Chain A
Amino acid sequence: MDALLHVGLFLPLLAGIALLIWPSLGRRLAVAASGVTFLIAAWLFARASGEAYTFQALLLEPIQMYYALRLDGVGLVLWLAVALTTLLAVFIAKVPTRMLGWALLMESGLLGIFAADDLILFYVFFEATLIPSLLMLGLYGGRERLKAAYTFALFTLAGSLPMLAALFAVRYLGGAPSFLYSDLAAHPVSGSVADWVFLGFLVAFAVKTPLFPLHAWLPSFHAENHPSGLADAMGTLYKVGLFAFFKWAIPLAPEGFAQFQGLLLVVAAFSAIYAAWLAFAAKDWKRLLAYGGVSHMGLGALGLFSGNAEGVTGALFLLAASMVYTGGLFLVVGRIAERTETLEIGPVRGIAKSAPALSVLTMFLVMAMIGLPGLSGFPGEFMALLGAWKISPWLTFIAFTAVIAAAAYALTAYQALFQEEQNRVVSDLTPREWAFAVAIVAGVVLAGVYPKMFTQMIHPLSEALAKLLGGGA
């Protein structure tokens, strides 16, 4: 099992490097590598027994830093989501071969983020993932890509560095003997130190959630990325803020979290409604999806910050689910852009007539995004609501008006592209796209109809966190 853990983690990395050096290996290698990774993730998921898969080796003895992996229920669910989305992305996106290599490198980083059990190791993965993401934007992006890349990189780095300070503080002021999660969690910081530590984490993870006003990098990041949607899908996977709050920030500085909880709930609720509103004014698909994503993560954050088991489970479920459907939407939009040569909403209309299956696929993913019950967007959103209501009914009400707005912006855009008078004939799904569609539909429906499969992995951990925070279930 250990071996599988490492193979899963580093196979994409090796395949990615190989692709960068020998691009002639082509897409087949990328699909094979990410496919195997997905199988490994699925195998680990299926064989999960309630005990986490762990591995520990001392990496840097003098500072007691470990190469420590711990894949628990939450990690497995997220691994599955990341592996599936990456597989789908490299399978479907039409991009230069080297870009697939960067995507694979990113996959390794992401898997590492969810598996790391040593805070420094986590930081390493968290930061290292920036590089391929940045390069995909910088190398293959649109006209304004460099500015977008700076924005992205600086937000990320400016966020991560306070986190580094927090990371030192949590160990040396908390008195843990190592950077292992278990050690750190056993020595939580308290008092005003806890506030500062949490604040440090907060900045880093708010950028990556993203929460207002640190979401500002996101629209241009997506708008300028390669139109295929590969980089956007990978970027969506990189929105790991909620997970990081759950795994690190809150357990390591629970007192700090308690201090900021009120503010965070307000910010989360505001992000949700604010971004949904903005999405309504977006004139291109990528910005629309970007803002839509911010809005959904706002709802998730509201659940997470409510600190009770159902809210936390909801947030993590939503995170995993949104990786798949938002990533999928970016990819589908990429396929549409390839046909219509534009990402703008408006110029091309009525293409459902000539591409019915494509329109159904898009509609399906849009419905998943706006949280239609029975699809994967709903259980997470719903549990987040249940959890949040317990803490703050008014904020919940305000935030969840976003579900109305979501219907408005998503269906308006859908209508503009697919419905009304047809002015462009496009081709319908190719066999490859059909395969993509079947896979993603299966995933989304499975998670929507039988969420228990995933929530039973997540919930015990959420309950533990809730217990730590004293909220109880």
Chain B
Amino acid sequence: MITLYILGAASTVLTLLGFFVPARVTRWLATGSVAASIVYLFFTWGQRQTAFGGLYVVDPISQGFTLVALLGVLWALLVGRSEKWEFSLLLLYAATGMHFMASSPNLPVLLIALEVFSLPLYVLATWRRDEPGFEAGLKYFLLGALSAAIFLYGIALHFGATGSFNAGVQGSGPLYAAALLLILGALAFKVSLVPFHWWTPDVYQGSPTTVSLMMATAVKAAGFAALVRVLNVQDQGLWGLGLGALIALTVIFGNLGALAQRESKRLLAYSSIAHAGYVGLGLYSGTGTAAIGFYLLAYLLSTGLAFAVLAAISQGDVPYERLRGLLYRKPLLGVAMGVGLLSLAGLPPFAGFWGKLLVFLEAAKAQQWGLLVLALLTSAVAAYYYLRLFNLVVARGEATEAAIPAPGAGTPVLAGQSAGGLSLATGRLAAWPLVIASALVVLLGILPGLGYRLFSPTPFAALSRPASTAPATLPATFAITSPSDGAELRAGEFSLQGTGRAGETLEVWDSGSRIAEVRVDERGGWSLVLPSLPGVGEHTYQVRRPGEGEGPSVRVRIVE
């Protein structure tokens, strides 16, 4: 709640204050408030809160995704600076919108939040005030409007089908499916899932690099936060196929398209499309929030590194050749770029690897083998283009400095470089984020648990609380709650549901053979769509703890 207050208040106050104080002060204040929000987030981590009659919810989703989004904004604030005070302010507006987006289960509120953070972005996209900049801004704006319309239509249908504006309300029927998919499409636009991705390469390339950085990181976090809520629907049949198609198209198009690029920012645009596809894999299992969160964090750090390095070189285009030998000319930039690229490629021991691993695991849990294999194959393709950049970065000097249109002989690359009124942070200020992010990428690569825990339902349980006070309120036992014992059921028309200790894994047995494994969710419940249709007759479903021979069971009769 305080996060929202800080961000909201800072936005409002700075809008007025900006007229009177220098741009520098505005920037510092904006940065400060975002940082303060992050600090506050940490202090209240794991605490749940509801406000405005349920329109605003602070829960793990809200906290995790807000953290990623705010970090993205913070980074953009640190790296890019403008003599115009509106720049920082716009970023602050966006941050507010993103936080709300991550913290509301209410569809109309989500739409408003979406617009709140989109509008500043439309403006920021044009910040360079040149032809490509305007083009980018216009495209983003018009297509964004279109997607908002789709969103709105989806909300209408959703209300029609369920009578509720709340995301995650269960429903059925074609109307409901259409609603879900329309909302999915609109959000897919924000996170750049193919075929809603059209704007991405053009806008990333046309926008100032700092802004692209934020689009690639913070916007995705906000978008996926909403997707996680919207798709929290038991019946995967409604949206599974649609999402699957999007993901398949996304990983193919993103990765193959990236192969053809010759300009770094555009490449990262395609890469961000591809990564959106991978994140999408985490949506299937219903337990993937933490994995998605971790992925986005890892992606934020890695792609942030890449964008920040590009931003240090130029706010405009950076053809590949300009990266040649970067490691020797600017060791810090070279190392940061190298770490970022390897992490993006998903090589251990960098954070990007664990992100991929975790979302892939979720897909595996949900038995999405086809998508998984496709994602893996395209990852191999992805390795190629990341390694191409990587090789350039470490290539020993065939191309000389002369190949690079340096702003002046002897001028360090990190030095201020004006581009459409947007200058760059210089010296240490820009270097520290690089160092910290690189270190975090490596740290999370070695100890992924640190990051993963952040997004778990009880993030600091193991750290801050003694083990004895572990949630005793949750059921210590486990059981099957549905169907009831002795019920007569039709094959394919029921699923098994039950309770257990949050986070634990249970095995489900059918008449003595193990058929599946379920994971108890944060609320202490689990459900299982039977992997294959049971035959007609008596079935005894039993749930066991792994390694134990017995457990509660129900006997049901399956009829024609």
Q: Which residues of A are interface residues toward B (Cβ below 8 A)?
A: 59-64, 120, 123-125, 127-128, 130-131, 134-135, 138-139, 146, 149-150, 153-154, 157-158, 161-162, 164-165, 168-169, 171-172, 175, 177
Give the secondary structure class of B's interface.
helix
Going nearest first, the 10 A-B pairs with the smallest beta carbon separation are: A168-B364, A161-B376, A124-B348, A177-B546, A158-B380, A157-B383, A128-B348, A172-B364, A127-B348, A128-B349
Interface string of B446-469 (1 = CB under 8 A from A): 011100100010000010000000
Give the secondary structure class of A's interface.
helix
Contacts A/B (CB < 8 Å), 6 sampled:
A59-B449, A146-B395, A157-B345, A157-B379, A165-B372, A177-B547
Which of B80-88, B105-113, B189-197, B352-360 lies at the interface?
B352-360
- Total number of residue pairs linking A and B with CB closer than 8 Å: 90
Interface residues on B, range: 35 or more
* Given A59-B447, A127-B347, residue A172 in contact with residue B360 (CB < 8 A): no
**What separation, in Å, do the CA atoms of A35 and B361 have in the docked complex?**
39
**What separation, in Å, do the CA atoms of A138 and B389 have in the docked complex?**
12
**What separation, in Å, do the CA atoms of A120 and B357 have in the docked complex?**
9
B186 CB to closest chain A CB, in angstroms? 31
B517 interface residue per 8 A CB criterion? yes
B262 interface residue per 8 A CB criterion? no
A116 CB to closest chain B CB, in angstroms? 12
- A63 and B358 within 8 A (CB): yes
**What separation, in Å, do the CA atoms of A443 and B342 have in the docked complex?**
38
Interface centre among A149, A150, A164 (most CB of B within 10 A): A164
B355 CB to closest chain A CB, in angstroms? 12
Across the interface, name the chain B residue whose C-beta is closest to A164.
B376
Q: Which residues of B contact A124 (CB under 8 A)?
A: 348-349, 353
Given known contacts A138-B394, A146-B391, what 6 new A-B pairs fall within 8 Å (CB)? A59-B449, A138-B395, A149-B391, A157-B345, A168-B372, A177-B547
**What separation, in Å, do the CA atoms of A193 and B353 have in the docked complex?**
25
B460 CB to closest chain A CB, in angstroms? 13
Name B394's contact: one of A64, A139, A153 (CB within 8 Å): A139
B264 CB to closest chain A CB, in angstroms? 18
- B353 and A162 within 8 A (CB): no
- A62 and B447 within 8 A (CB): no
Q: Which residues of A contact B348 (CB under 8 A)?
A: 123-125, 127-128
B495 interface residue per 8 A CB criterion? no
Q: Which residues of A contact B503 (CB under 8 A)?
A: 62
Q: Which residues of B contact A162 (CB under 8 A)?
A: 373, 376-377
Name B380's contact: one of A61, A138, A161, A177 (CB within 8 Å): A161
Q: Which residues of A contact B394 (CB under 8 A)?
A: 135, 138-139
**What separation, in Å, do the CA atoms of A165 and B394 have in the docked complex?**
31
A18 CB to closest chain B CB, in angstroms? 15
B526 CB to closest chain A CB, in angstroms? 15
Q: Which residues of B contact A130 (CB under 8 A)?
A: 347
Name A62's contact: one of B363, B391, B456, B507 (CB within 8 Å): B456
B523 interface residue per 8 A CB criterion? no
**What separation, in Å, do the CA atoms of A169 and B365 have in the docked complex?**
9
B290 interface residue per 8 A CB criterion? yes
Name A60's contact: one of B347, B360, B383, B452 (CB within 8 Å): B452
A106 CB to closest chain B CB, in angstroms? 13
- B391 and A150 within 8 A (CB): yes
Q: Which residues of B contact A172 (CB under 8 A)?
A: 364-365, 367, 517
A357 CB to closest chain B CB, in angstroms? 36
Across the interface, name the chain B residue whose C-beta is closest to A58.
B449
Q: Which residues of B contact A63 (CB under 8 A)?
A: 358, 361
Interface string of B382-404 (1 = CB under 8 A from A): 01100110010011100000000
Name A169's contact: one of B369, B384, B452 (CB within 8 Å): B369
Q: Which residues of B contact A146 (CB under 8 A)?
A: 391, 395
- B357 and A164 within 8 A (CB): yes
B490 interface residue per 8 A CB criterion? no
A403 CB to closest chain B CB, in angstroms? 36
Name A128's contact: one of B347, B361, B377 (CB within 8 Å): B347
A243 CB to closest chain B CB, in angstroms? 18
